[in-house]
Amino acid sequence: MAVDLFESVTECGCAAKVPAQELAGMLRGVVPTSPAVLVGPDTLDDAGVYRLSDEQCLVQTVDFFPPVARDPEDYGRIAAANALSDVYAMGGKPLTALAVVCFPSKLVREGVLHAVTRGAVEKLREAGCVLLGGHSVLDPQAKFGLSVTGVIHPGALLTNARARPGDVLVLTKPLGTGVTIMAIRAGMARAEQERVANRSMASLNAKAAELARRCGAVCATDITGFGLLGHAMQLARASGVALEIGIDGVPLLDGALGFAEQGLLSAAAYTNRDYVGDAVLFDDDVPLPSRDLLFDPQTSGGLLICCPPARASELIGWARDELSTSCGVVGRVDEAAGTQLISVRRRAFVPGDDKPGYERLR
């Protein structure tokens, strides 16, 4: 019997996360006591990093959420890609995973959990990561995800705290998963739009992380439940910089702008807006639906890479040739300027002929 997992939940994917403001308050004051901790909770980065030796660090993360797709195997693939992304965002190589399972007994008996796990294992194999086991409990609403452990050389670490003025901001997946999921649940999305969104969410960020290293980037973050502006603000604060975003350069899923124009926003989009608050300033000509998409909670979104300006054109060329998802130059890093961390304008940033690899306004 076919199962539509959307019928079993009230919240979907990363839109179900605890609001960022409450989460930041909960973590405030949590200070790691070991000098081996290279990345802890203070910068709100994508994963924790613990130094084992001068040559190797552990990268650790856990991520799980309610169904984000109708089909159980799609759900498993997306949940795995999303959890693995935190390790990729730190520049690491995922090695092992443990499943986190909260599932209704009815769906366990009907084999739905088995199908979800099968989809997750498919993505773990693609990543070269081994599922060692996990923990499961019965729960009225389904939730599934993974705790992932990876490794990295300390000199190869990517963090959200190392952006440099002049860096070019490149996003490696299109925005719009939140509004698209809302449209799917409302019966307003075409089958092809649903398929493309699921394929994007299930795509690993392994290649994007490889391209970040290839271009000499030292700063990146993945864009998930707090939206592009929420994660960009965390990066700006951690790095002590300001960011400029050009909305016309932001890649979008097919139909996402139309869904935003129809107001198909989740509650998480509004909490993300509150979280960013006065840290962002929009130019008057940036339309409201475009603004909304910058707060849209993403599930298994792309990496936001801070690329050295001299390598930006190369990175974009590699990304267009080697990534299975659309990408775009979405902005640049500037010197810090008071409490306003992000400015958003209409025009896109494009490679400039006068400064090779740098971005100028079109």
- Tell me the pairing of strands 219-222 and 303-307: antiparallel
Distance CA 129, CA 121 (A): 9
Q: What is the rounded distance in angstroms from the CA atom of residue 174 to the CA atom of residue 178?
A: 11
Residue with tokens 């719009």: 176
Check: CB of residue 148 under 8 Å from CB of residue 94: yes
Rounded to an integer, what distance in angstroms lies between the CA atom of residue 17 and that of residue 66? 10
- In this structure, the number of other CB atoms found within 10 A of the CB of residue 19 comes to 18
Order of strands, sheet of 93-103, starting from the edge strand that comes earlier in the sequence? 37-39, 48-51, 57-65, 143-152, 93-103, 130-138
Long-range Cβ pairs for the range 280-285 (8 Å, 24+): 280/229, 280/233, 280/340, 280/341, 280/342, 280/343, 280/344, 281/340, 281/342, 281/343, 281/344, 282/343, 282/344, 283/343, 283/344, 283/345, 283/346, 285/345, 285/346
CA-to-CA distance for 362 and 359, rounded, in angstroms? Answer: 9
Query: Which are the catalytic amino acids?
Result: 14
- Is 253 strand, coil or helix? coil
Per the DSSP assignment, residues forming a β-bridge with 64 are 145
What is the per-residue DSSP string for 161-207? Answer: T---TTPEEEE-S-B-HHHHHHHHHTT-S-HHHHHHHHHHHHS-SHH
CB atoms within 10 A of CB 196: 20
In one-letter notation, the amino acid at residue 132 is: L
Nearest to 127 by CA among 157, 98, 84, 82: 84
Strands of 92-129 (E only): list them: 93-103
